[in-house]
Amino acid sequence: MSVPVVEPDRYDEQLEAKRSRIVELFARFAAPAPEVFPSPASHYRQRCEFRLWHDGDELHHAMFEVDPADPKRKTVVRLTQYPVASRRINELMPQLIEAVRDNPVLRHRLFQVEYLTTLAGETLITLIYHRQLDEHWDEQARALEQRLGAAIIGRARKQRRVLTRDHVTEHLEVDGQVLHYQQVENSFTQPNAEIARAMLHWTRAVTRAEGGGRRPRDLVELYCGNGHFTIALAENFRRVVATEISRTSVASAQVNLAANAVDNAVVGRMSSEEFGAALDGEKQGQRVSELALETHDFATVLVDPPRAGLDEASCERIARFDEIVYISCNPETLAGNLEQLTRTHAIERLALFDQFPWTDHCECGVLLRRRAGGD
């Protein structure tokens, strides 16, 4: 990956370039003008990972700059600060180096560090090693927890040592309501908390019933992760069924449903393909029966797939629903999926979320509704 060059004075310029690209990319679908949600120009990433570079007695955070002309060539970039990362991560970077550099138990064969922080500054640090860890490491790592004011996890091959906890809890205020999210180490979470908040606001707004209150029909969410959208959208629908394949994320989503007192949503561990088969009555079993699909009346589907987007069969599956909310971290694959989805649905709303400033990447949101006569 490239190390982003952060120039706050030029933030609007890079955002406008993304907006123009999105307008051009989706023009063929007669999409409305995108609603644009800017990011903070710096210190916006709540999670980051770095290599730890050993140079004699010295120790540095590092990233690799890839030569675009020859991707096999990588240059080590040593970092003392990283303006992309949250202020809490930047505060901890020199403190961690100072604490570990002259401590042989913590430093020996340490090669990577991962930071996970929240807007309030709660922090989890994962130290990753090319050796097995023991009780001597535990003792030194507990002292490090006290010194840094952060939870510490140690990882090595087939080993994970959790000293205090394996998660942080993010609190996001959305439309005057504070939502609580457990975020577990080594599982997917939205990296840009301010943009995460904007995405929740937008998806709530586009699915809100006229006049407020809950819609009389139900929502199905695929790729729900830790319940990021599930929690925020539950109040807009009669009931919600959310699915996710990761055991860790499903467990975290269930914790988050309870933490937010959401009583009209259920999370099932299954793939989108398995859910489609269950909806068609082709798959049965305990996990399917727990969802009680026969009692639901689904009108809306929300998908937030990986960068590769959806395959043809998945697009066909979600096109059965009257309303589609599609969140995408790759506009190119979204455009490819829209070639299929716009045969039956029209784009009603389009949003650009600047999830990744100073890169070519951005996040998009699309609301599609079935055309009159669309099959």
**Which residue ranges are tagged as binding site?**
190, 223, 228, 244, 304
- Residues comprising the binding site for S-adenosyl-L-methionine? 190, 223, 228, 244, 304
Q: d(Cα 244, Cα 58) in Å, to the nearest integer?
A: 43
Q: d(Cα 301, Cα 321) in Å, to the nearest integer?
A: 6
Q: What is the DSSP string of 152-212?
A: EEEEETTEEEESS-SEEEEEEEETTEEEEEEEETTS---SBHHHHHHHHHHHHHHHPPTTS
Closest CA to 117 of 36, 176, 34, 48: 48
Residue 315, class by beta-carbon neighbours within 10 Å (0-12 exposed, 13-18 middle, 19+ buried)? buried
Query: Under a CB-based contact definition with an 8 Å cutoff, are residues 279 and 199 in contact?
Result: no
Q: Which residues are catalytic?
A: 329, 363
Q: d(Cα 200, Cα 207) in Å, to the nearest integer?
A: 11
The 8-class DSSP code of residue 107 comes to H
The 8-class DSSP code of residue 329 comes to S
